[in-house]
Amino acid sequence: MSLNAKRILLIIGGGIAAYKCLDLIRRLRERGAAVRVIMTAGAQEFITPLAAGALAADKVFTDLFSREDEHDVGHIRLARDCDAIVVAPATADLMAKMANGLAGDLAGAVLLASDRPVLVAPAMNPAMWAHPATRRNVETLKRDGVRFIGPEAGEMAERNEAGVGRMSEPLAIAEALSSILDGGEKPLSGKRAVVTSGPTHEPIDPVRYIANRSSGRQGHAIAAALAQLGADVTLISGPVTIPDPDGVATVHVETARAMMEAVEAALPADIAVMVAAVADWRTEADSRQKIKKQASEGPPALTLVENPDILKAVGHHRQRPALVVGFAAETENVIANAEAKLARKGADIIVANDVQPEKGVMGGLRNAVHIVTADGVEDWPESGKEEVAAQLARLFADRLASAEKG
Ligand code: CTP
C-alpha cells in the first residue's frame, strides 16, 4: 500500500526498539512518504539524531525550547504540518504522558497540539505492559481515538525474558499507517467473514482438559487483516492469552461443540477461514466431579469420541460461503495431506504449514505456508504471522472476487 505524498511525523521514544525506527523511516519513505522526526531525550540515548536525520533526509527535532527550531518550524506547525503521527517505540512513560496531556517536552507538546491521526507502537517490558497503570493509560488513549499496533509477544532485550512487549516490525507499522491514512483499499467492504482461531479445550473433569499448542496468533492476525480490507468479521476464538483484535467481533468459546455452534450462528458469510486447531476428540464422559486418584483403581481410562469437524461442515453447508479456507498443520507429507484435506473437507484453499517440533512453528511468531488449491501449490517464504495474514487476506479477496465473477 502506498503512502505517496503523505507527510508523516515520527516521534521516537526512549526504548531499545528505537533502533528499529531507522528501518521504519526507510520503510515509510519507500512507500512515498515524507518523514519528519522528533526524538525524545530518551530516544537520543539509544540512537543519534544524525542517523535518523540521514535516513529521513531532514533535520531532526529534539527541543521544545530551541530558538532555532521554534524559529524554523515551531511545535504548533510540527503538529499540524503532517497527515499522521507515529509514536514508536511508545514507552510506558510516553504513553502515561500522552494519556494525561503532559506537554513538558517537544513530543508531548506536539501530540497535545495535534488533531491528526496518531498511531502508537508500544514497546516495553511485559511487566510494565501488564501493569494496571499502563492498562488504564492504553484504555484512555483508545477512548481518545489513538490507534495502536502491537506490542507483539516474543523475546525481550533483557536476557531470558519473554512475553508481550516487543514493538511491531517496521513493515507492519507502515502497513497499519497506510490503512489508517487512506483507509486502504477495501476490496472486502460489504462482505462478511467468519474466522476460527486458537485451540479448543475439551474437559475431562472440572479441573482437567485436553488441549493443544495453538496460540491463536495466526487466526487472530487473519481476522484483523480481513477487517482491514473492509470485511465485517466475526472471530470465534478458543481459549488464548492474546488480546481480541481491533475492529473485529470476537466470540469466545472453549469446546469444539461450542465453536461449531458459534460458526453456525455467524453464517451466512462470504468467506470462512477455519484456522482453529480444533481438538479432534473429546472424552465421552465429561465428569462433573473431579476424578479422584484414591477412589479409582489405577489410572482411569479416557474413552474418546469424535468432535464435529467444523471445516468439513462449513465446506458442505447449505449456506456454504463462496470461499472456504482451511488450515493443515502437518508433521510429514505436508502437501499430499493438504491436497487430500482439500477434497475431503470441501474447501477451496488449504493453507498448509509444517509443524515439526524442530521447526518450532506451532505457537511461534513466524510461519512458512504452502497455498494448496485445485490449481496447484504455491510456496510462500517464511515471514511474521502478521505479514502472512496480510498476504492471505489479499489472496482471499482476489479469490472471492473471481469466484463471484463465476
Ligand atoms: N478442523 C475443524 N474441525 C475439526 C478439526 C479440524 O474445523 N474438528 C479444521 C481446522 O480448523 C483446519 C482443518 O480442519 O482448518 C484441518 O485440521 P487438521 O486437524 O489438520 O485435519 P484433520 O481432519 O483433523 O486431519 P488429520 O488429523 O488427519 O491431520
CA 403 to CA 406: how far, in whole Å? 5
CA end-to-end distance (rounded Å), the chain: 28
Residue 373: predicted pLDDT? 95
Residue 196 pLDDT > 70: yes
CA 354 to CA 336: how far, in whole Å? 12
For the CA of 328, the nearest atom of ligand 1: 20
Q: Is 191 exposed, middle or buried (0-12, 13-18, 19+ CB in 10 A)?
A: buried
SS3 content of the chain, % helix, strand, coil (to 5): 35, 25, 40
Atom 12 of ligand 1 has which residue's CA nearest to it?
327
pLDDT by residue (tens digit) across 307-352? Answer: 999 999 999 999 999 999 999 988 888 889 999 999 999 999 999 9
Mean of pLDDT values over 38-42: 97
- Under 8 Å between Cβ of 197 and 237: yes
Residue 322, helix vs strand vs coil: coil
Does residue 4 carry a catalytic annotation? no
3-class secondary structure per residue, 218-264: HHHHHHHHHHHCCCEEEEEECCCCCCCCCCCEEEECCCHHHHHHHHH
Residue 55: predicted pLDDT? 96
In which residue ranges of the chain is CATH 3.40.50.1950 found? 7-181
For the CA of 279, the nearest atom of ligand 1: 8
Residue 383: predicted pLDDT? 79
Mean of pLDDT values over 46-63: 94
Residue 272, helix vs strand vs coil: strand
Higher pLDDT, 371 or 243: 371
Element housing 36 (H / E): strand 34-39
- Residue type (1 letter), 304: L
Mean of pLDDT values over 99-126: 95
Class of domain 192-405: alpha beta
The C-alpha cell 453456525 sits at: 264
CA 258 to CA 260: how far, in whole Å? 5
* Of 194, 212, 218, 274, best ligand 1 pocket probe by most atoms within 8 Å of the beta carbon: 274
> 310 in ligand 1 pocket by Cβ < 6 Å?
yes
Residue 86: predicted pLDDT? 98
In which residue ranges of the chain is CATH 3.40.50.10300 found? 192-405
* Of 197, 327, 353, best ligand 1 pocket probe by most atoms within 8 Å of the beta carbon: 327
Catalytic residue among 4, 100, 137, 212: 212
Tell me how many degrees the CA angle 95-61-1 measures, rounded to the nearest 5. Answer: 70
Superfamily of domain covering 7-181 = Flavin prenyltransferase-like (3.40.50.1950)
Q: Which of 62, 68, 67, 21 is nearest to 42 (CA)?
A: 62
B/e letters for 271-291, b = 16+ CB within 10 Å, e = fewer, are bbbbbbbbbeebbeeeeeeeb
Residue 377, helix vs strand vs coil: strand
Local confidence band at 69 (pLDDT 50, 70, 90 cut-offs): low
Residue 188 pLDDT > 90: yes
> 276 in ligand 1 pocket by Cβ < 6 Å?
yes
